[in-house]
Amino acid sequence: METMAGTIRSMMDAAIPFEESPKLTQFAHGGGCGCKIAPGLLREILARAPQGLVPPELMVGTETADDAAVYRLNATQALVATTDFFTPIVDDPYDFGRIAATNALSDIYAMGGTPIMALALVGMPIAKLAPEVIGRVLEGGASVCREAGIPIAGGHSIDVLEPIYGLVGLGLVHPDRVRRNADAQAGDVLVLGKPLGVGVLSAALKKGQLDGAGYAEMLRHTTQLNRVGAALGQMDGVHAMTDVTGFGLAGHLLEICRGSGLSAQVELASLPLIGSAVQWAREGVATGASGRNWAAYGSDVDWPADAPEWQRTLCTDPQTSGGLLVSCAASAAPAVLQAFQSSGFAQAAVVGRMQACEHDRGSRLAFA
């Protein structure tokens, strides 16, 4: 680890002038959470990785593909640790930094934790980007950390072909208030905090078709911190949480199902959607990651034969800095919705429920 001043100074010495810097997205073959490794391939890779040490203090590790690791420090504190980084989803460097930082900190909130500090992860093609561009990425990330009330206490940088930015996030949570993705209960209702469609908007942007209003809407959702997760973690009726990111709503809900040994049903008509994303999805605009997601887990999904293709696109759409997905007792749903809405998540909605698996079918996700 190095100080951020030292991290960037040597990079900028070799960078080109600002006026000659190309667009950030032209370097990236993917963007945002859409550049995650497809879930099926990721499972295959991880299955080949040797099992490391699992001390008794490690409350959450790799066993259920949860959002962050959790390590018990003492009777009242557990450390939440996560890292997240990706290639540009937008061309504006300041906005890229804001989106990446918001996305990284979301994993801590999804565990019911509160961030305490971050480290910056910086990879830049230093011979092709101006110092001002790199600096603006860092400024964007720092602005989000200030909003979250935490410092960026250090980081690391490398010279790479594609711009990469993200954070290591560290937080704290009471050991009894950790909200894993594997603790959902049959009969729980599912509440989604943010509307779906960020990936579709990013695809329209990359095609040069997204207007200013659509860009502003995408930015509003992707830079909204999921701080409500810390408050949700304090509610007794909240059993499980995750954030919806690169694998789409369907993929991350399936992780809850598999971890909890349950199935789920989602009502398509209840899903909160970004209005302009619906328009683009109807016109066939989608990310490549959406198709890869469906190929990876579609066999575990019961999809209505009469449902239009655009709805499936939005259910598999990779959400960069997406919303929290909460599995809670039905009696707690009004309080969960109130917490979301009072925190500025106006489109939060009950979207489905958890249920026992059918005999011999294992965990499945049904849309209706």
β partners of residue 196: 273
- Which of 288, 276, 229, 257 is closest to 355 using CA atoms? 257
Contacts of 41 (CB under 8 A, 6+ apart): 296
In the sheet with 349-355, reading across from the earlier edge strand, the strands are: 238-243, 324-328, 189-192, 349-355, 263-266, 365-367, 301-302
- Which of 108, 209, 100, 118 is closest to 155 using CA atoms? 118
Q: How far apart are CA 325 and CA 304, in angstroms?
A: 22
Is residue 189 within a helix (H) or strand (E), and if so which, with residue range? strand 189-192
Q: How far apart are CA 170 and CA 51, in angstroms?
A: 23
Q: Name the pairing type of β-strands 365-367 and 263-266.
A: parallel
CB contact at 8 A, 112 and 169? no
First CA to last CA across the chain, in angstroms? 49
CB contact at 8 A, 64 and 181? yes
Q: How far apart are CA 129 and CA 164, in angstroms?
A: 12
Q: How far apart are CA 280 and CA 273, in angstroms?
A: 12
Which residue shows structure tokens 């490794």?
Answer: 37
DSSP 8-state code for residue 68: S
Which residue shows structure tokens 């100080």?
Answer: 3
Distances 305 to 197, 272, 302, 309, 366 between C-alpha atoms, Å? 22, 21, 9, 10, 12
Task: Indicate which residues carry an active-site annotation.
Answer: 33
